[in-house]
Amino acid sequence: MFNIATLNQSFSEIKKRQEIGRGLRLSVNQHGRRVYDPPETPEGDEINLLTIIPNETYETFSRQYQQQIRESFGTEAKAGKLRKNHKGKKPGLKTLRLNRNIFDSEAFQSFWNTLARKSEYSVSIDEKRLIRQAARQLEQLTVPEYQAEIRSNRIEELSAEGIKNEDRGGQLTELKANFAPVDVVNELSTNTGISHKAAYHILNRMSHYSQIIKNPARFVQQASAKIKNLLMEEMLKSLDYRPTGDILDSNRFSDQYISYQETREVPSKGVYDKIIIEDSTEEAFVREAENDPDVLFVLKLPAFFTIPTPLGPYRPAFGVALKENTASSDKGCRFFVIDTKEFFNMEDDKKPTARGMSKMKCARKHFEALEGKTGAGMGCYIAPVKNYHKDFKDKI
């Protein structure tokens, strides 16, 4: 186990990436081989565990960086698990126990047999159209100059209280890029997953290359984002899901399990007596669901439940069953899959990432295919939910 304590306030994304990278590289055994914890390792028994004692900017960065890794690699496993312990509060083990009255009910078994059906997908991409559209959009890109800021500081005093220094100003200096055309082709292919041939044809259709020459690295970054968005649009247009006939076995639910994460008690509506809470939005959602008389039960979807998408596995946050009417019977209920995630862009934390929102759209198509095949009533409400009533209850 290793620790990072942030003693200074840094806003440099590169610096934070380097620090986290160094911490994650340290876990090796006596033979110099990297040590990994299997996915089934219980919380508290991990060997390769990096603890960050963060300030506010570092905490936000760690959360967003974790999400970016999931999206880049298309799997939860690559990002590992993120646990948050509040300052001054000693983390304690929580035992979550299965509520057999709910789990064994006809309503929950019907819900799970509908929700847990597996599917497979197919996509087809018109590469020629993609090349035309990408070349047109890249032609319109405007990138900033390739510059470096040079600043001068004079240290006036060193003491136990810190460093006193004087900022003596600075200036921006234009730099000259050194690159080869094949570098740009290779970087576009690597960053987007398109073939080298397609990347070459996109660049070859452009009529001027001033933006590439001005700042190649920034051009590749912005061009890659444009191409990725076009790829997602193409995939969503042709995406087709088909049920496989297989189903996730409900026996995978444990009678109880242990967690260090924050939880909220849901004694009357939870499939478990507690639900793991990852953020304030989830906490508010669970509280409202527990107090809603129309809710039969609420389930934090388990880690083994994922929906396949062309962008990698996707796992919504909650499953909820609502009564069809005011009757207390388990029969005649409606099922919903709900997400409270907000896929923020690391450059703009008010703007959701296109990749995250596209995964939600894929999940809707998955459930539409299941409903069409089975005739079961699965309401798929997968969208960022901040307010239980305003964003969910009042819209269904």
Cβ contact 325:334 at 8 Å: no
How much is the average pLDDT of 269-291? Answer: 88
Q: What is the pTM of this model?
A: 0.66
Q: Domain check: are 131 and 218 in the same one?
A: yes
**pLDDT higher than 80, residue 65:** no
For residues 109 and 389, the model is more confident at 109
Q: Is 134 inside any structural domain?
A: yes
Question: What pLDDT, on the 0 to 100 scale, is given for residue 303?
Answer: 85
Which of 18, 52, 79 is the last residue in one of the domains? 79
Question: H-helix or E-strand containing 217?
Answer: helix 216-238
Q: Is 85 inside any structural domain?
A: no
Any bridge partners for residue 96, and if so which? 257
Q: Domain check: are 369 and 269 in the same one?
A: yes
Q: Domain check: are 44 and 155 in the same one?
A: no
How much is the average pLDDT of 86-102? Answer: 77
Question: What pLDDT, on the 0 to 100 scale, is given for residue 334?
Answer: 82
pLDDT tier, 176 (very low <50, low <70, confident <90, very high otherwise): confident
Q: Domain check: are 115 and 248 in the same one?
A: yes
**pLDDT higher than 90, residue 335:** no
Nearest residue to 321 (alpha-carbon basis) of 101, 105, 107, 115: 107
Q: Is 84 inside any structural domain?
A: no
Q: Domain check: are 309 and 384 in the same one?
A: yes
Any residues with CB less than 8 A from the CB of 102 and at least 6 apart, and which?
A: 108, 269, 270, 271, 296, 297
Q: Domain check: are 209 and 267 in the same one?
A: no
Q: Domain check: are 113 and 133 in the same one?
A: no
Q: Is 86 inside any structural domain?
A: no
Q: Domain check: are 247 and 105 in the same one?
A: yes
Q: Domain check: are 389 and 255 in the same one?
A: yes
Q: Domain check: are 302 and 369 in the same one?
A: yes
Q: Is 265 inside any structural domain?
A: yes
Q: Domain check: are 212 and 194 in the same one?
A: yes
For the chain, the domain total comes to 3
Q: Domain check: are 113 and 14 in the same one?
A: no
- The pLDDT tens digits of the residues spanning 345-377 come to 444 444 556 677 788 888 888 988 887 544 445
Helix, coil or strand: residue 311 = coil
Cβ contact 334:366 at 8 Å: no
Q: Quick one: CA dihedral 350, 354, 357, 359, positive or negative?
A: negative
Q: Is 150 inside any structural domain?
A: yes
Domain of 326 in residue numbering reads as 94-123+242-395
**pLDDT higher than 80, residue 222:** yes
How much is the average pLDDT of 262-284? Answer: 87
**pLDDT higher than 70, residue 391:** yes
Q: Is 89 inside any structural domain?
A: no
Which of 188, 220, 238 is the last residue in one of the domains? 238
Helix, coil or strand: residue 128 = helix
Separation of alpha carbons 18 and 13, rounded Å = 9
Q: Is 88 inside any structural domain?
A: no
For residues 387 and 284, the model is more confident at 284
Any residues with CB less than 8 A from the CB of 377 and at least 6 apart, and which?
A: 114, 334, 335, 371
Mean pLDDT score of the chain:
78
